[in-house]
Structures are given as structure tokens and as C-alpha cells.
A and B are shown apart, each in its own frame.
Chain A
């Protein structure tokens, strides 16, 4: 069981990554910020980040699932390295690649961005911990 803990943590992080921009700290126009009249609601830049983070979340869950099903040394090190790369992408999409809305008070900037950065840091820490743990396995 102890060998599968990393896989479970990775899957939970992936799930959090999907839930964050949709429900926990939703981007503009989603969750509790959904417009009452969608007809006049303009399309926001952060909608692209929402899609990207959902895909990254699914990838994180897949990486975690592999570690959970086959808890071997090489697989744990490989999936932890993949998690490290994914953690970088989680932060890069809203900051550089797809971007977010301009105003500092838009929901995507107030809540989603700091939540994604926090998740990205957590993913990086788990990634490094996984590599260290994997190196100790025989």
C-alpha cells in the first residue's frame, strides 16, 4: 500500500487541477460566476486556460494511475519526472501560453491564478519527493 501512496496523491492533484478552474476557483463565466444572461456575455481569454488545465489535469490523473497500478522503481521515477514537467505547464499556461483576462479583479486573476500556482508548486514538491522515494526503492 505504501508504494501506491504517490500514485494516489498524483491522481488527487490531477482531480484538483480539473476542479479548480471549473468549480473551486472558477474562471470568468463558470461556476458561481456563470452569467445570468449568457447572450451578452463576451468570450474571455481565460476560457482557453480552462481547456488547457483540464487536459493537464487528465494527464496528471493518467500519470498517477500508472504509478498506482504498477508501483515499480522506474515507473515511479518516470511518472514523478512527468509530474514535474506538468507542474511547469500548469503555471505556464495561465502566465504565458494562453493567458488570463487583463483586470486584476476578474475572477480568473483573483482566484484561479493563485490556486493554479499553488497546485503547480504542490505538484513540483510531490514530483521531487517521488523521484527521491523512487531512488530509494530496490
Chain B
């Protein structure tokens, strides 16, 4: 009964001072929203990076000298990086003792008007199905049907972000290809690429003279990159940084990209933005806690007479304390729920746009990972409301009825 009475009084009081409470709720929502956004962006990019590096599968990637930054950008954004080097470089790299496996890749940009109205300027990556160790393991399980399947000459594998389905037909440089499988998503730029068997890519280039609107000038002795897997150190291998140094020294025509460099670049891109967002949210959070404390102290002062009368009519100290604490918790709870819903919805909804603007990859976390984050934000906001409301609530509950009525007059 006491709880119902306190809840009834809280409702009445909030209705009387609706505007003031709305401002408080909006402030809490802004503080929680900023905090949750920063945490979400951080988590999504870290997860994507982890998955993307696993997907890359190679310890090192060799590209023509000086073009490693181009490849780095292309892995992050999915914008085509077009460059070529001699195919013989792959054999020279394979000749090193510390190299376990190599596989070539070929980068091509599709024509602007590539047949389908909604898929154009696609990044085509030619891979060698016989030596590949980085792409096939990432075919989404439902497409592999539990068995290792050979990729046909007229088949391609599509990145998850292209919105394609198995069996769709794509047309590049006058040739039709069937989508043979979809790769599982990582949030990295390569989710927007189409992977084509390297021999089909050379054939497509050869036949483009007669079949395509624009000829694809590509000779079969050219490749764009070599993916390198190193031997384990116990089997005579070298650490990645030493192997990269060795390769760059002995083959001056190449530059080596180490996946760790990619991770560092992403961390750099993110750190400034996240630091700004976090400092702003801490500032808003402190200001909000102060604001709640101030507003409740003011409200208690304004309501001295009312509180005195309630005490004189038999309201206990506990009821007065509960009433003010309930108001503070309600402000904290409502604000944090609004902030949480809005920030989660906006960050997840605009994730591709944020990812592109910040130059970092994003992978949307599952619900299981969002729940702990949401509960922490909610608990923090409730705690803030409770701490901010504690002093005014204690002060109000300790007032003597007679003095409260006199000083409130």
C-alpha cells in the first residue's frame, strides 16, 4: 500500500513539473546514448578486424613496391586497388625456405554499366582455386552443403555485402558468371568483392576484345598480389616481421603488407573519434548527475510546505525518502532506456555510413553481445540517478513537520 501511495504521489508530482523532468530525461538519454555509441563502435570495429584478419588467412601479402598502402585501403573500404606485377615473382617468393605456401590474386574493376541495374563498379578479385588457402574456407556453411566443392570456370564467389544469392547470374566484360557461393561476412571491404577463378579472369580479358563494350587489358603473365603463408618457427620458419624484411630486401620489386599493420591503422583511425566521443559523454554524464542533484534539491526546497503537511498528516520519513528516490530512479531509468534504444538503433542502422566515414570496418554483433552492454549502461544510469537523488531525499525525509511548514510559507 505504502509503495502504491509513493508511486501515486510521484506520478502527480511529475505531471505538475513535466517540462523539468523532460529536460532531465533528455540529458540522461544523451549521456547514455553517447556512451553506448562509443562502446558499440569500438566493439563492432574490433570484432570486424578480428574476423577480417582471420579471413585474410595469409601471414604476409606481397604487392608491387610502394603499393602496400593502396592494398590496405582496399581491404578496409572495398575500393578497387588496381596494380599488376610479373607472375614470376610468385615463384621467387615460393623459393624461400621459410615460405610454406603461396597463392596469387588478381585485381580487376568491373565496368560501370555491368549489366545489373543495382550492381556496378564491382571489385573483382581473381584467385587460384588450386592453391587458394584464404577464400574457400570462408564460404558460408549453408552454401558448401557440408562437402568440399570444386568451383567451376563460370562460377564466382560473392562477398556477403553484395546482397547476392547462390545461383544469381552476373555479367562482367561480356561474360556471364553464376554465383556459386557466398562468403560469410566480416565487415571488411572484401565483403563487397566478387571472387573469380584466375583462369576465367584471363579468359574474360582475352575475349573482352570481341565481347565487351570496353577491352580489359590484362596479360596472363600478370598478377596483383601474392598471399604468403609462413612455415611455423619450429619447422624452420621466421617471425612475420623478419620474413617481410627478408623478402623486401631480396626482391626489391615488391612491398610486403603485414596484417598487423592493418590492425594498427584501424586502431589509429578509431582512437581519435572514440576519445572525443568518450570525453563528451563523460562530461555530459557528470553534468547530468549534477543537474539531477540540483533539480531535486530545488524541488525539495519548493516542496517544503507540502512535505511538512504530508509528515503532519502521518506520512513516515521512509515514504518521503522513497518518493524522492523513486522520482530520481524514474528519471535515470527512462532516460537511459531512451538513450540506449536510440543510440543502438542509430549506430546499427547507420553502421555502413559510419564505417565509411571513419574508415574502419564494422561487423554487427549478435544480440547476445549487445545485452551485457545494454545492462551495464542501464545500471550505470540508474546508479547515477540514485546517487544524485540520495542527498535531497535524505534531507527531505529528515525535515521536522512544523519547521518544514513554517519555512515553506
Contact = CB atoms under 8 A, between A and B. Distances in A.
Interface in B347-364: 349-350, 352-353, 356
Contact of B192 (A103, A111, A115, A117): A103
Interface residues of B, number: 21
A118 B192 CA distance: 26
Nearest to A43: B117
A109 to B, nearest CB: 7
Interface string A36-79: 00001111110000000000000000000000000000000000
Interface stretch (B63-71, B139-147, B161-169, B328-336): B161-169
B117 A118 contact: no
Interface string B97-134: 00000000000000011001111100000000000000
Contact of A117 (B113, B118, B163, B349): B349
Interface string B311-332: 0000000000000000000000
Contact of B352 (A44, A104, A121): A104
A114 B119 contact: no
Interface residues of A, number: 21
Nearest to B163: A102
A129 interface: no
B259 interface: no
A120 B151 CA distance: 44
B78 interface: yes
A41 B257 CA distance: 35
Nearest to B164: A102
A97 interface: no
Interface in B147-184: 161-164
Contacts of A109: 352
28 contacts: A40-B113, A41-B112, A42-B112, A43-B117, A44-B118, A102-B116, A102-B118, A102-B119, A102-B164, A103-B161, A103-B163, A103-B192, A104-B191, A104-B352, A105-B161, A105-B192, A109-B352, A110-B350, A110-B353, A111-B353, A113-B349, A114-B350, A114-B353, A115-B350, A117-B349, A118-B345, A118-B349, A121-B345
